[in-house]
Structures are given as C-alpha cells and as structure tokens.
Structure 1
Amino acid sequence: MIIPAFDLIDGRAVRLYQGDYLNKKNYDINLSCCLEEYKSKGIKIIHLVDLDGAKNSENRQIELFEKILSNTTVSIQIGGGIRTTKDISTLLDLGVKRVVIGSSVIHNKNKVKKWLKMYGSESIVLALDIKINNNKKEIYIDGWQKRTNFILEEIIEYFLPSGLKHILCTDISKDGTLLGPNFNLYKEITNSFKSIHFQASGGIATLKDIISLKKTGIKSVIIGRSLLEKKFTIEEAFKCWQSES
C-alpha cells in the first residue's frame, strides 16, 4: 500500500531534514485538496505527523485534524507526541483510523501493552526509529536525539504477545535524504516477523525504490518528500506498487 505523508507545523506542510526543526522546508499546498486528489487516485490511507504536538504536547493541532477529518473520507493515520490514553482516545473519537506511538514505546512499555489490548491492534502503530551501529538496529527516541539500550528485534518480541500488528520502521540515516531506502533492513525484518505489517519510511526517491521495497515483503511504504517535490506522481507510485502485487 502507498501511504502519502505530510508533516505539519502550524497547519502547514513541511519537511525536516533528519528530524531537525532548524532545517525545515515549507511546502505551499492545500492539504484538503491533496487528500481528496489522492483518494480519487486509489490511495486508502494518509499519514500525518503533528510536529507541533511532537515538540510540545500542549500545542497539538487538534482543531486542524478535526477540520481535516470532517472534510475527507480517506482514512487517516496520525503520529507526533502521542503520550497518553486521552491523546489516543481524542484522535480515535475524531475518526482517525490509526494512531502512531513513538517514544512511549520505550518510556511506557506497560502502558503501550495496555493500549494494544484496549484499542486493538488495528488502531495502534508502533513507530520504531533506528540507526544501525555494529550491525545492531538500535532504537532512538525523543525526536531521534536519544539512543536507547534497546534493539528493534527485542522490542517487537516484547509486544507480539499483546497483539502487535502494525510497525512503522524508519532508518534515521535515510529519512528526508532522497538517497534510497535501506532495502536489506526491510527484507530482514519482514522475514523475521511474518505476522507484522511493516510500513517502510525514509529515503524513497524513485519509482525503482518503490518496486524494490515491495519485493522485500513490506506491506506499505510511506512517501513524503519525493511526492511533495514531484519526483514522481501519485499515479506512478500507485501503479508501480500494484504492478508488483
């Protein structure tokens, strides 16, 4: 599945390079029009990142999301600083299809297990951001600023008994670079965890990247900058994905 992505600050679409708020690029787009266009082209779900909420939970863009969800029928997946049960309930009550949990996966593992049970595996996506050091997939949190003592595989194993199904896995070194994804990473983890629906994110620059990602066995690919900068069209991306089915 192709999942277009929009990172949002104060209601505007932006891209951060390597997660750096000081290295930001603005895009002049009409988000509501983009969502409807993508839906008309066959897209099933859109990924939105609340960068304001990620930086400060008091600044969550709830009014914006409420407006978006009342004006579109395409499914929405939202991440960015979601830390509490109230955060999740508020978004799901608005009509969000899936809520993406990031740093809380490490900070509050027991709470995340409860969320998986409470809301169901279809409503929760774990965002696991990694850097590969000495062949270890080390997890980073808090806007990629903090290296944890956990590796990707052990965190997946920890949550599997709680019904974990959806994981958004990003190789931080690739994000926002347009240098191509880490194909070996996705091939390895899809082979190791066949019950997980992995979403690949980071580095996608060409249609060939999409075809190669599909061959790794991942279920979805999140595409942000390359669509915003018209490296290819949504129709071309969708066609590539379908042709590899």
Structure 2
Amino acid sequence: MLIPALDLIDGQIVRLKQGDFNEKTVFNLDPIAKVQEYAQDGAALIHIVDLDGAKDPKKRQLQLISQMVKNCSCPIQTGGGIRTYEDVQSLLDIGVKRVVVGSAAVKDVAFGHKLLNDFGPDAICLALDVRIIDSMAQVAIHGWLETSQNSLYDLLDDFMKSNLQHVLVTDISKDGMMQGANNSLYADLAQRYPKLDVIASGGISSLQDVKDLKALGASSAVLGRSLLSGAFTLKEALNLWPND
C-alpha cells in the first residue's frame, strides 16, 4: 500500500529535513482539501503527523484532525507525541483509524504491549526511527535527539508477542532528503517479518524508488515530500503499486 503523508504545524502543511524544525518548508495548501484530493486519487490510508503535538501534547491539533477525518472518505492514521493511554483514546474517539506510537513504546515496552492488547493490533502502528550505526539499526527517541540502546530487530521481536501488525520504519538519514530509500533495510525487514506490515518511510523521491521498494517486497510505503513537491503524483505511483 502507498500512503500519502502530511505533516502539520499550526494548521499548515509542512515538511522537515531529518526532523529538524529549523529546516522547515511550508506548503500553501489546505489540509482538509489535500486529504480529500488524496482520497479521490485512490489513497486507501492517509498518514498525518501532528508536529505541534510532538513538541507539546497540550497543543495537539485535535480539532483540525477531527475535521480531516470527518471530511475524508478514506481512513486516517496519525501520530506525533503520543505519550499516554489517554492520547491514544482521544484520537480513536474522533474517528482516527490507527494511532502511531513511537518513543513512549520504545522507552516503556510494557506500555506498548498494553496499547496493542487493549486497543487491538490494527488500531496501533509502532513508529521506529532508526540510525544505522556500525551496520546495526538502532532506534532513536525524543524526536531523534537520542539513540536508545534498543536494536530495531530486538524491539520488533518483542512486540510481535502482542501480535504487532503495523510498524512505520524511518531511516533518519534519509528523511526529507529526496535521495532514495534505504532499500537494504526494507529488504531485510521484508525477509525477516513476511507477515508484518512494514511501512517504509524516508527518502522516496522518484517513481523508480517506488518501483524498487515494491520489487524488494516492502508491504507499504509513505510518500511525503515527493508528492508535495510534484516529483510525481499519487495516481502515477498507484499505477506502479496498486493498493491491495
């Protein structure tokens, strides 16, 4: 599945380079109109990152996200600073299909298991942002400011015990850089976890990148800056990788 993505700051669509708020591009686009456009173009799921919520959960853009959900004909998954059980519940209550949880589940694995068990594995997407250090994929936390002691594969093996179904894996070095995805990482994940919906994120910049990811067996991929910058359209990408 190809998943168009929008990052939001103060109600505006933006893109960051490698998660740096100082490297921000603002797109003069209406968020509600944009999700409607993506739905009309064939999206089966849209990924929303609430960057205000990521910086301060009290500033979560619940009202805007609620309007996007209500006015979009396809499901929406969203994340950004999800730290508590109540954060998850509040988003599911406004109609979000799936909540994306990152650092909170990495720092407190028991919390991650509880979310998967209480809400069900289809309602939770684990977000694991990785740095490749000495050929090992290490998981970063706190908005990529720190590298945890957890390896990507150790965490995945643990969460599979609670029937993890969806995981968004971002190679930090690739995010927002428009230089191609980390294909070797996603090929390895597809081989190790053939039944897991591994969502590739970061660096997809061309239709060739889309072709390459599909060919190596990736189950899903997020398209962010590539769509917003006009590198290609969602319709063109879906011609190469139709939604199941």
State the 1:194 CA deviation. 1.5
Amino acid at match of 1:37: E
1:171 is aligned to 2:139: no
State the 1:195 CA deviation. 1.9
Partner in structure 2 of residue 151 of structure 1: 151
2:204 counterpart SS class: coil
Partner in structure 2 of residue 129 of structure 1: 129
State the 1:97 CA deviation. 0.6
Partner in structure 1 of residue 10 of structure 2: 10
Distance across 2 between alignment mates of 1:42 and 1:106: 33
CA distances 1:127-149 after superposition (whole Å, capped 9, x unpaired) = 00101111110110111000111
Q: Is the 8 A contact 2:165 2:196 kept in 1?
A: yes
Partner in structure 2 of residue 203 of structure 1: 203
Partner in structure 2 of residue 219 of structure 1: 219
Structure 1 stretches of 4+ with a deviation exceeding 3 A read: none
Distance across 2 between alignment mates of 1:41 and 1:50: 23
Amino acid at match of 1:172: I
State the 1:41 CA deviation. 1.7
What value does the CA root-mean-square deviation take over the aligned residues?
A: 1.2
Distance across 1 between alignment mates of 2:191 and 2:16: 31
State the 1:73 CA deviation. 2.1
State the 1:23 CA deviation. 1.2
Partner in structure 1 of residue 115 of structure 2: 115
**Could you tell which deviates more after superposition, 161-170 or 32-41?**
32-41
Distance across 1 between alignment mates of 2:41 and 2:61: 27
Distance across 1 between alignment mates of 2:99 and 2:113: 14
2:241 counterpart SS class: helix
Partner in structure 2 of residue 103 of structure 1: 103
Distance across 1 between alignment mates of 2:205 and 2:17: 14
Distance across 2 between alignment mates of 1:23 and 1:115: 33
Partner in structure 2 of residue 20 of structure 1: 20
Amino acid at match of 2:146: K
Distance across 1 between alignment mates of 2:54 and 2:40: 30
Distance across 1 between alignment mates of 2:161 and 2:31: 38
1:37 is aligned to 2:37: yes
Number of aligned residues: 244
2:212 counterpart SS class: helix
Partner in structure 1 of residue 87 of structure 2: 87
CA distances 1:19-73 after superposition (whole Å, capped 9, x unpaired) = 1111111001122222122212211110000000001111111111111122222
**Normalised by the size of structure 2, how large is the TM-score?**
0.97
Partner in structure 2 of residue 194 of structure 1: 194
Unaligned runs of 5+ in 1: none
